[in-house]
Amino acid sequence: MKLRSMESKNKIYSKIFLYLTISISVTIFVLSAIFYVNFSNISLSIINSYIKDSLSQISYSATFMTFSAKTMAKQLYSDSNITYLLNNLNPDYPQLSVSLDRLSAYKSSSPFIQSIYVFNSRTDTFYSTLDNGVEGKASFSDSSVLDILENPGQYNLQNPIPRIIPAKSRDEKTSNVYSFVLNDFPTNPDKIPSSIILNISAEWIRDIITSMETNNEGDIFIIDSQGRIINNAHNTSLLTDVSDKKYIRQVLSAPMNSGVFLSDIDGVRSLVTYVSSDSIGWKFIRLTPYKNIVSKIDRMRYLTIIIGVLILFCGLLSSLFISRRLYKPINRMAVKISKLESEKRNRFYEVKQEFLRKILHEGLHQNAQDLQPDFSELNILIKLESEIVLVLFKIDHFSDFCNKFTSIDRSLYKFSLINIASELFSETFTAEGIDSGDDHVVLILTRKNNNFNASKAVIDPIIRKLQEVVSEHLQFSFTSVVTFQGNMADDLKFLYDQALIYVHHRIFHGHGSILYVAEIMANIDPNYTYPITKEKELVEALMVGKSDSAKSIYREMIKQTLTCSFNILNLTLLRLLIAINIAVDSLEKDVDLATPYKFSGFTSMLNSLETLEEVEEQFFLMFDQIIENINTRIDYKKSAKYNSLVNKVMEKVRNSYTDKNLSLDSIADSVNMSSIYLGRLFKKIASKSVADYINEIRLEKAKEFLSATDISVNEIVEEIGFSNSGYFYATFKKATGVTPNVYRQCTGKIHEDTK
């Protein structure tokens, strides 16, 4: 009873302590906020009044500039010297000089005038205070003024027009000006009226703005009614459009001529003050960083917040310590409940996966009506009568995947792949995922709405997106196979078997490819014939140590299979491997050659390769090892045994050179050896081929007959074993440089002289 009472007191104490801590902290924060807001409003009111006064002064200066410019423009228009420039057809040069001097005098009379133009529409000529003085319309340097004269309806000619014009100074390329245009009423609507253009330098206004920025804090600038910058102290490009900024839109839409508000500008909370000038349609804006205005208030606010946080933190620590003791029994119960729920979910997932794997591997042998309760109980979304498409995802570099992760981790990665794929496909299809094997998972897709569109155009973008997500977050890639459309009840196993067959076509297309069964079947060439001639050429090149030739022939043979099925490629590789194995076996028997390559192991390894590049790498490695072993073996065996064998071949040739059928093959048969190996061994030791040696012996005998006897050449050909006289003539001349008859004449004469 006493223990229960103590527990009750502890609970009451912890609640009172927690509530008190929170109440004090909240009270401190609320009072601080009220004080901060009120003090900020007073400070803002004082500063805003000062800022408005400075902006009003700038506005007055701009208005004065406008009034002065318009007054001067009217003076120009009423001056006879200027009107001469406006209206003359054939200028009198003395009078023209006087008028231009008068124009320059007007320009010099005011500090803010940048330049003055007079446009004569009769002669399409500009008279200006610029260096050239007189220029035609087409060559006038300030081309933008023509747009104003040609399209006056697009500009408000009653107000100054901000422009960027070519600068007179070499140090600057452009000048910012405000242009005032005064012109005649056009008598011809298709012709530009004669006009006076007065350009006021923007620097004059900028100097006034700069003088107002006494503390270099914030920014003062002018915008027009369209939200374009007209002037500012920091020389931002004239006519820069800032209407997309939130605070500018607020200024432009404000109903009052002046105002102030707070806004976040480029991440800085600032005070925005504006004044409008109705006479010229400009708005004068000043931005002041809010922290500069209320920095002292902020220090007070931060101190208050820190104290409040400390109080709150201490209260929370105490409350946390007490509440944790109270929460322990509840936590133990929650953990047990959570564990039970997790086990239930995992068990449900395992049962569902096992059921889906079984129907995928074995097919649906039961009546669909009998299986429907299982589908409902396991919450399988795809109905038995549905039209379906299977998408198989086969993990690339699976051997590396297995080495990197444990079986549990691999299951989790495949589970993640299924979840991501189901989520991406769920926008268009109803999907069920199955972890169906060691290296692949399967997604069953069916209609989500009435339309079941499983075309490449729909599925391809989803798989591409899935590949990006999996590569980024799970760090592995996979190859996809999309089957034909079929029925869930009748075709599930057939579609799965089909996907397992055609996923092997990854070997042609590479990792990460998306394979469509329909496309593969349509593109398979049924007329493939195994290139037995190429096989023999490859084996012969391999046996004589021509590695590059063997590799080139291999590539040609594989290239012929690229339009065939995977089975054709597999049979081609196996048949080629068998031919190489037979040739190597023959060498082992003939010359006691023991190759380190185990062809049975190579066949097993071949089945695990995933791309043609990997297959080629292994074949080329085998080629190099076989050739290296043959070369090493021949060099090692270059001893009395092989010298004796070569001597035996030479003796055979010397004794049988008259035999027309004498050849490498006949000699190899007589010594019970491979003709390829015997020919290579003979050339290695004798530095000539067997055929060359046979011809050499026969030609020696022919020379003897020619120099010592009078029998005819044809009879000599028969005696020495050449099959025809034409071949003998060609061979003899190639060896000696002369024909047999010439040789006989030369050697016969020498013989007679010797006698």
pLDDT in tens, 524-566: 888 889 999 999 999 888 888 888 999 999 999 999 999 898 8
Structure tokens at 552: 């080139």
**pLDDT band for position 165 (50/70/90)?**
confident
- Structure tokens that stand for 109 in this block: 């009379």
| 574, part of any domain | yes
Is residue 223 within 8 Å of residue 285, measured between CB atoms? Answer: yes
Is the alpha carbon torsion for 637, 640, 641, 642 positive or negative?
A: positive
pLDDT class for 753, splitting at 50, 70, 90?
A: very low
Do 381 and 435 share a structural domain?
A: yes
pLDDT given for residue 215 in this prediction: 58
644 and 631 belong to one structural domain: no
For residues 541 and 604, state if they share a domain.
yes
pLDDT at 481 (0 to 100):
96
Please tell me the predicted confidence (pLDDT) of residue 469.
Answer: 94
Using only the alpha carbons of the chain, give its radius of gyration. Answer: 50
pLDDT, averaged across the chain: 81
25 — pLDDT class (breaks 50, 70, 90) = low
Q: Are 477 and 564 in a shared domain? A: no
Winning range, highest mean pLDDT, from 300-304, 447-451, 482-486: 482-486
The answer to whether residue 192 is domain-embedded is yes
Q: How far, in whole angstroms, is CA 529 from its chain's centroid?
A: 41
Measured CA to CA, the distance from residue 455 to residue 509 in angstroms comes to 20
Average pLDDT over every residue of 5-16:
50
Choose the final residue of a domain: 523, 548, 577: 523
Q: Read off the pLDDT band of 32 (50, 70, 90).
A: low
Beta-carbon count within 10 A of 399 CB: 11
C-alpha angle with apex 65: 201 to 161, nearest 5 degrees?
60
Using 50, 70 and 90 to split pLDDT, how confident is the model at 389?
A: very high
Angle between helices 566-591 and 547-559 in degrees, nearest 10: 150
CATH of residue 105's domain is: 3.30.450
Residues near 381 by beta carbon (within 8 Å), at least 6 away in sequence: 430, 431, 432
DSSP secondary structure letters along 67-126? HHHHHHHHHHHH-HHHHHHHH-SS--HHHHHHHHHHHHHHHHT-TTEEEEEEEETTTTEE
Supply the pLDDT for residue 24: 59
pLDDT exceeds cutoff 70 at 705:
yes
- CA 500, CA 746: separation in Å to the nearest integer? 80
| Residues sharing a CB contact under 8 Å with residue 333, sequence separation 6 or more, in sequence order | none
Q: What is the average per-residue pLDDT within 505-526? A: 92
Q: Answer yes or no: is 418 within a domain.
A: yes
- Within this chain, do residues 374 and 485 fall inside the same structural domain, yes or no? yes
Pairing of strands 125-128, 134-136: antiparallel
Does residue 322 have a pLDDT over 60?
Answer: no
Domain assignment present for 253: no
Q: What is the pLDDT of residue 416?
A: 93
Is the pLDDT at 159 greater than 70, yes or no?
yes
Q: What is the pLDDT of residue 269?
A: 84
pLDDT confidence of residue 417: 93
User: 457 and 445 in one domain?
Assistant: yes
In whole angstroms, give the CA distance from residue 725 to residue 103: 114
Please tell me whether the overall predicted TM-score, pTM, comes out greater than 0.75 for this model. Answer: no
Output the pLDDT for position 201.
Answer: 84
> 511 near 611, Cβ under 8 Å?
yes
Task: Return the exposure string of 211-226: e unless at least 16 CB atoms fall within 10 Å of the residue's CB, then b.
Answer: ebeeeeebbbbbbbee
Q: What is the pLDDT confidence band of residue 297, given thresholds at 50, 70 and 90?
A: low
- Distance (Å, whole) CA 551 – CA 12: 87
What are the tens digits of pLDDT across the range 53-69?
777 778 777 787 788 88
540-546-549-554 Cα dihedral, nearest 10 degrees: 60
* 48 is a domain residue: no
Q: 516 and 368, same structural domain? A: yes
Q: Give a yes or no: residue 113 inside a domain.
A: yes
Residues 227 and 241: their CA atoms lie apart, in Å, by 6
In a domain, 39, yes or no: no
Q: How many domains, the chain? A: 4
Do 669 and 702 share a structural domain? yes
Domain encompassing residue 489: 363-523
Q: Is residue 3 scored above 50 in pLDDT?
A: no
Query: Which CATH number goes with the domain that contains 499?
Result: 3.30.70.270
Same domain, 599 and 735: no
Q: Given this model, what pLDDT does residue 630 score?
A: 73
CATH no. for residue 697? 1.10.10.60
> Is the pLDDT confidence value at 462 over 90?
yes
Higher pLDDT, 677 or 475: 475
Question: Which of 149, 173, 205 corresponds to the end of one domain?
Answer: 205
Q: Band of the pLDDT at 86, cuts 50, 70, 90?
A: confident
Least confident of 269-283, 632-646, 720-734: 632-646
631 with 654, same domain: the answer is no
Average pLDDT of the residues in 562-578: 90
Summarize the confidence of residues 613-628 as an average pLDDT: 88
Residue 626 in any domain: the answer is: yes
Q: Does 465 have pLDDT greater than 90?
A: yes
Report whether pLDDT(5) > 50: no
Q: Given this model, what pLDDT does residue 187 score?
A: 55
Residue 477 one-letter amino acid: S
pLDDT digits (tens, 9 = 90+) for 95-154: 888 888 888 888 888 777 888 989 888 888 888 888 778 888 888 888 888 888 888 878
Q: Are residues 393 and 436 in the same domain?
A: yes
The reply to whether 459 and 565 lie within a common domain is no
pLDDT class of 4 with cuts at 50, 70, 90: very low
**E strands, 488-571, where?**
514-516
Mean pLDDT of 82-97: 84
Least confident of 213-222, 430-439, 658-667, 705-714: 213-222
Mean pLDDT calculated for residue range 213-218? 61
Where residue 29 falls among pLDDT bands split at 50, 70, 90?
Answer: low
Is the pLDDT reported for residue 43 higher than 70?
no
Average pLDDT of span 671-699 = 86
User: What's the pLDDT band for 502 if we cut at 50, 70, 90?
Assistant: very high
| Tokens of residue 632, six digits | 């090493």
From 613, 636, 659, give the residue that closes a domain: 636
